[in-house]
Chains A and B, each alone.
Chain A
């Protein structure tokens, strides 16, 4: 289709549509940008749902022997909260941004397989819907729970028929299985797009780091979602066809499930955090006014994180009684991963070093990310030292550690990315003062909650308990944690309000509000259908820098 035809088509559809036609367009779209927006919209809805669940958990734990909810409800809340936030918030956010940005950044008109793209999104959407349908559809037996209450790891044999009668565990299994297929579809698509749709001149060594990191993330999805899907199918076989893989009452193995789950579960952490690195690697250079420091090393570090992350899974299982040799092996692999991770932190610092830092909201969130990611990494080293882990594992210290990673590092980067690319996606700027208020409130709430949360873990408070005994020194700390959670909640509401009001009343963004260097800033905001009227050609890693600075182009250093 020529660019003229596209223009005509765009003009044709923009006038006089009924809401039904608009809805039809969005539901049937195969456009990577619309699918990207759908993913992010979907993730925002589930962010609110998961946030409400977190609030219920925190109200219940506010003081000892609280009876805000029953233990049954509490157990469902932390199961839904974990499953939702991992599978239906962070992953869709990441796929959404990858979908939207990768073709724009590599100078392509769409993803390699647009229909597969739409199919994958709707599978993911179906997965999340199934999980929550369990609340109305889950109860098949009198007395059986109506939503899964097995925890987000769903350790065997809690998921067997004996301990989870009814259908709630099946909804969990199928929700994760179906959305997993969606993730695999999108990962295949992203790999194919990055490898074969790059515009002329964009060698692998000239791709924006965002595209590189998306490639590594997609590879990890392919490697790690497969064992997860296999385990879910085995569990279904156990529950419906009389299999005994995980049925310990018939000689099945509980640890087999742990291995399957964590060989997915640990790479999953990197599936979530590598896109966060990708956001930081695009945002920090632009607001430091310098190119990324040590591009080849950043790529190498990411690839090696990807490989090493496949060999660390059993550090989630230090307490299950592995031999001292196995434990030592997983201590070593876990600590090795700190090296490439450290390199990345230093290279971001190197990027800021000697720059002219502009503290716009996206940059603030990225600096918050650097700080919190550093701490999350260091508490990760503590947890990686197996004997220390025997004390900390399964306690609130771990809960604090991984929330530091998932909220403090990943969600901060997602917020940064939304502030950074919202102008490109909608054509309007987000309100900067509201954004800064959101940032500071969220920082205060975050640190109040998750800094303090390390302490009850050290004082012996296990996770996943719906109540606790008074007099162990946990009461005051839990109260502070809950207050912090409410502050975070208020910050998120401000953020959502900013998204809505700026869409209608924000100032016009123009093509390139941040003076950026990658190809997405060369097209209009929002970008036209099919992105580029004529496919661009690039000669360096920062094509727009070359255009803006013909006296000192990057091509000299490429």
Chain B
């Protein structure tokens, strides 16, 4: 009995410590983590500190009550040698009951004040003039990112500059939805905020370290909710400026791959996809102007390689069953030409 209970709690504590400890240790880089206990941005850090505070208080409550329970179970178990007499019939005690009403009330007050402070600090944060503004739009099953001040449109991989605490350049995101509810969640940078149709939400982040941060949609949005992945690339100011310059350039006009471009522009591709400076102005799918500057396709479901691109156009269900991209039913020659054209969109 006691052993079982103790085992249970050990497993739970070990789990929490495992998550907290192991994940703080793992470095950024090739294998980024999505642990909420390894924050790299002010909102995520404030949440982390609050969560440690809450965890400590709840752990203390747990140990006290659990200790009482174990004590009662061991101490007051019916012993075989005992008499048949019933124990003393106690009906209650006003003092004791008052005590275990008032102490929890005090704990609640403390917890509430600590929580309200963090809510205010994150939600009502001042937006500095140096902040980068991005509009994130959730689509069934991909992310559109628009930089209104820079005139850039891209998808699924958000590029933002690192923020030096001395001269902060946070990113403020306006969150919109084109169809169903979604939720923007990059655990290391900020808590999640939903993208809801007919509603404008906001979130912000000021990453302190460069690198790739992973996240994904956290509000069930339909068949392919699972593969609506997010990548945030936090760049040095120089890298970011270079990226902005590339993105601002018009699309490669496809002089070398005229056959592939013709396939693209004479089929249904252009109904959904835009390629800047061409007849392709569709808005339902990701903007492909600089497709090859992204490291993944299908909202992170596959690496951006020629083979995957070809497969994706030929048979999207092989990569992401239920995605809204239709199978284009092109001949092998057209597929090859189209893939070659897409590869020029750098």
Contact = CB atoms under 8 A, between A and B. Distances in A.
B129 interface: no
B31 A354 contact: no
Interface in A469-499: 469, 471-473
**Interface of chain A: mostly helix, strand, loop or mixed:** helix
Interface size class of A (residues with CB under 8 A): 35 or more
A163 B179 contact: yes
B309 interface: no
Interface in B87-122: 87-93, 96-97, 100-101, 104-105, 108, 111-112, 114-116, 118-120, 122
Contacts of B159: none
A192 interface: no
Contact of A343 (B34, B68, B97, B192): B97
Contact of B51 (A149, A343, A355, A388): A388
A381 interface: yes
Given A253-B198, A378-B61, A349 B72 contact: yes
Interface stretch (B150-158, B183-191, B246-254): B183-191
A50 B73 CA distance: 34
A370 B69 CA distance: 8
Interface stretch (B11-19, B256-264, B336-344): B11-19
B18 A455 contact: yes
A469 B301 CA distance: 9
| Interface size range of chain B in the complex | 35 or more
B168 interface: no
Contact of B119 (A297, A342, A346, A386): A386
B35 A297 contact: no
Interface stretch (A132-140, A220-228, A459-467): A459-467
A255 B66 CA distance: 40
A426 interface: no
B87 A354 contact: yes
Given A319-B183, A324-B124, A354-B76, A157 B197 contact: yes
B33 A459 contact: yes
Interface string A183-225: 0000000000000000000000000000000000000000000
A375 interface: yes
B226 interface: yes
Given A354-B76, A357-B73, A464 B104 contact: no
Given A254-B181, A290-B90, A291-B91, A356 B72 contact: no
A320 B62 CA distance: 31
A68 interface: no
Given A342-B100, A388-B50, A472 B76 contact: no
A374 B12 CA distance: 13
Nearest to B203: A321
Nearest to B108: A335
Contacts of B101: 339, 343
A297 B93 CA distance: 10
A355 B75 CA distance: 9
- The 6 tightest CB contacts between A and B, nearest first, are A390-B191, A460-B34, A465-B226, A321-B201, A248-B197, A294-B92
Interface of B: 1, 4-5, 7-8, 11-12, 15-16, 18-20, 22-23, 31, 33-37, 44, 46-47, 50-51, 54-55, 57-58, 61-62, 65-66, 68-69, 72-73, 76-78, 82, 86-93, 96-97, 100-101, 104-105, 108, 111-112, 114-116, 118-120, 122-124, 175, 179-181, 183, 185, 187, 190-194, 196-199, 201-202, 214-227, 229, 321-322
17 contacts: A71-B321, A157-B197, A163-B222, A248-B198, A290-B89, A291-B91, A324-B123, A356-B82, A385-B54, A392-B36, A454-B15, A455-B19, A460-B33, A464-B226, A467-B227, A468-B226, A473-B33
Interface of A: 70-72, 75, 149, 151, 155, 157-158, 162-163, 248-249, 251-255, 288-291, 293-297, 319-321, 323-324, 327-328, 331-332, 335-336, 338-339, 342-343, 345-347, 349-350, 352-359, 364, 367, 370-371, 374-375, 378-379, 381-382, 384-395, 440, 443-444, 447-448, 451-452, 454-455, 458-469, 471-473, 549, 552, 554, 557
